[in-house]
Amino acid sequence: MKHSADKAAENKFTALKEIIQSRIESGRYPSGSRLPSIRSLSQEFNLVIRTVQLALEQLEDEGFIVTIHGKGSYVNEHFQDEKCLARIAFVFPEIAISDEILDLENWTTGAQFSNGLLAGAQKYGAEVVVLHIDRHLNELQQLRWLRKLKKFDAAVFLDYQLASLQKKLALVLPVFTPLSLP
């Protein structure tokens, strides 16, 4: 029973976060302006204070607002600059790249792809997080990585290593694999 109550609370804070975010993006809450107080938002949406706090914390984490202790929350003047279009996990199963693992052609293609991915991320405001995941995962490790990777908008693997993890992850988010190694 507690599980459904937790889900309902999460839905409320997510809905509130989206409403406030929409108000910021539409200009209803202009850049640099002070947001209504937590108590005001709580009353306006008929929510407990903790739910409002969680929504504001999420908005702050995403760069939409800045909270000044004792003064309130303000729309971040630079939120458009800080707004991340996508979070991409770049999964790298090898500790080092060598010609024992990749032939020269695939190594060059992989390096070009990596450079292109990072340049595109910079140009379009995406965040790329490079993650080393050992290719010899047991089931528990694979579940842990799956949980972590679900927080991203997409994942990129250079090749078909970690195929089992890629297949499971592809059920919940886009997975890209640009190279096919022999």
Domains of the chain are 2-80 (1.10.10.10), 84-176 (3.40.50)
Question: Would you say the C-alpha torsion 88, 148, 81, 11 has a positive or negative sign?
Answer: positive
Other Cβ atoms closer than 10 A to 166 = 18
Amino acid 1: pLDDT:
46
Closest of 165, 119, 128 to residue 146, by C-alpha: 165
Q: What pTM does this model have? A: 0.51
Per-residue pLDDT of the chain (182 residues; tens, 9 = 90+): 445 555 555 688 889 999 999 998 888 999 899 999 999 999 999 999 999 999 999 999 888 999 998 899 999 887 655 556 788 888 877 665 555 655 666 667 777 878 888 888 877 778 888 888 888 889 999 999 999 999 888 998 877 778 899 999 999 999 988 765 44
User: Is residue 75 within 8 Å of 65, Cβ to Cβ?
Assistant: yes
Task: Give the whole-angstrom CA distance, residue 21 versus residue 15.
Answer: 10
**97 burial type by CB count under 10 A (0-12 exposed, 13-18 middle, 19+ buried):** middle
CA atoms within 13 A on the CB side of 143: 3
Q: What pLDDT does 181 receive? A: 45
**Across-strand partners of 66?**
74
